[in-house]
Amino acid sequence: MISRRFEWAEPERLAGQIGDYLSHEARSVDVRGIAAEVAERGDAALLDLTAKFDAPEAESLNLRVGQDDALAALGNLAPQVRSALETAIANVRAVAAAQLGPGEKAVTLPEGHTVTVGEVPVGAAGIYAPGGRASYPSTVVMGCVTARVAGVDRVVLVAPPGPDGSIDPTTLAAAALCEVDEIYAVGGAQAIFALARGTETIRPVDVIAGPGNAWVQAAKREVFGEVAIDSLAGPSDLTVVVDSATNLHWAALDLCAQAEHGEESPLVAIATEPGVIERLEAEVDAVAADNPTVKDCHLALVEAPSAADAIELVNLIAPEHLELMSEGSAALAGAVRTAGCVFTGEETGTAFGDYVAGSNHVLPTDGTGRIFGPLSPATFRRATARVSLDAESARKLAGPLDALARAEGLPVHGLSATARANDPDQETE
């Protein structure tokens, strides 16, 4: 064991000193070579790398392990280890189920101990409001209000300045209404790195949220793990599902409104009946011709055999915004699994969600709706757990713990539990 003593200092500085001492070079390992090899050679690369790093003595390797192998291993498991696993499974399931509901909950487990689960807000959040083609005071609202509701103490806004070096006045006014604590006139990747790692002027934050261009998203990928991020949000996209009963002029307006965000915004229209796509395309061309703010975006037009097929395609696309403008949209919405936000019915244009409907317009893009959801208070909160054992519950759990620890080759874990269970000074109340 290598140890080092630290003199007490201002807590933030002391935490930094301890972090520097405990940091490990493995955190900066470059795995791009492995990524390239797996991308190029697939399974063959996995087998070769496994043989090289993990199983150099194996005569043959298989990637897929059959369920029969797992069941055979279960049949050969030592009874005390199986019992320990079953105890762990039951307790973890009970605690996980309690975390599905709101608020703090204390779960009492069969051994008599309690695990209290809940959430607490992070200490500081950084909100990125884009600039450039347009100002986005609405993004200030979406990010800063949500962070405040989550209970964040320090809310920081960054936004790129205009040519004169100042932030758009409406954006600043929105920041004042949202009671933002700190505002900085900086944008792009440099703003993300400043929020994550700090500078002389900007103290680092715990969570970074907000949409941005490709530079902003690349920077968010780079700092993920040093800080939390909301999602990879930008460029914005829209998919609409229409049929012969749809007001296609409204659908065209919604697609063209999305195109105002810039040429990078992907647009998809899916029709569930013949002849609709051609009419919609004509409507889009007409709206775009009359409105110079509409950019030349890529619009994909698809005719699906049925509404069910359309939804299957939607779930594969995982759009940021999805408008269900066909008949039976409410029923179709229940089958959508990956969209960032679903707008049901003809009256429900995406623009309402962008500004005033109350839903959050900071949404996962580029297909990442499969793994991310909309910005919400949960983005700025983290789960917590407090475990409390008494002497009796420690005795009941020590045996299963010791069996599992020894099965994993970590006997001192078991000793730390059995020492408590065997302590004659710890009497059961």
Taking the C-alpha atoms of residue 29 and residue 32, their distance in angstroms, rounded to an integer, is: 9
Spatial distance between the Cα atoms of 181 and 154, rounded to a whole number of angstroms: 6
pLDDT for 26: 43
Does residue 108 contact residue 127 with C-beta atoms inside 8 Å? no
pLDDT given for residue 161 in this prediction = 92
Q: Which residues are catalytic?
A: 320-321
- Residue 128 in contact with residue 151, Cβ under 8 Å? no
CATH class of 121-231+377-382: alpha beta
* CA nearest neighbour of 267 among 240, 233, 299, 235: 299
Q: What local confidence, expressed as pLDDT, does residue 20 receive?
A: 83
Domain 238-368: give its CATH code: 3.40.50.1980
Cβ(231)–Cβ(143) below 8 Å: no
Specify the pLDDT at position 22: 73
Bridge-based pairing of strands 114-121 and 381-388 is: antiparallel
Burial class (CB within 10 angstroms; exposed 0-12, middle 13-18, buried 19+) of 315: middle
pLDDT score for 1: 77
Q: Which of 53, 213, 57, 198 is nearest to 130 (CA)?
A: 213
Among 382, 420, 248, which Cα is nearest to 326's?
A: 248
pLDDT at 428: 46
Domain ranges, ordered by start, for the chain? 30-56, 77-112+389-421, 121-231+377-382, 238-368
Exposure string (b/e) for 355-375, b if CB count within 10 Å is 16 or more? eeeebbbbbbbbbbbeebbbb
pTM: 0.87
Residue 215 CA: distances (Å) to CA of 191, 193, 219, 220 = 10, 11, 6, 9
Give me the pLDDT at residue 266, please: 92
Q: In what order do the strands lie in the sheet with 381-388?
A: 105-108, 114-121, 381-388
Same fold yes or no, 121-231+377-382 and 238-368: yes
CA 279 to chain centroid = 38
411: left (phi over 0), alpha (psi -120 to 50) or beta: alpha
Residue whose pair of structure tokens reads 């920081």 in the numeric block = 156
Beta bridge partner(s), residue 182: 156
Tokens 């609405």, residue? 138
Residue 29 carries which DSSP code?
-
Cα gap 387→111, rounded to integer Å: 13
Structure tokens at 169: 């006045």
How confident is the model at residue 141, as a pLDDT? Answer: 96
Per-residue pLDDT at 234: 65
- Cα 135 from Cα 363, distance rounded (Å): 18
- pLDDT tens for the chain, 429 residues: list them: 787 888 988 987 888 888 888 775 445 678 889 999 999 999 999 999 999 999 999 999 999 999 999 999 999 999 999 999 999 999 999 999 999 988 899 999 999 999 999 999 999 999 999 986 678 999 999 999 999 999 999 999 999 999 889 999 999 999 999 999 999 999 999 999 999 999 999 999 999 999 988 899 999 999 999 999 998 876 889 999 999 999 999 999 999 999 998 888 899 999 999 999 999 999 999 999 999 999 999 999 999 999 999 999 999 999 999 999 999 999 999 999 999 999 999 999 999 999 999 999 999 998 999 999 999 999 999 999 999 999 999 999 999 999 999 999 999 999 999 999 887 665 544
Rounded (10°) angle between helices 391-407 and 411-421:
160
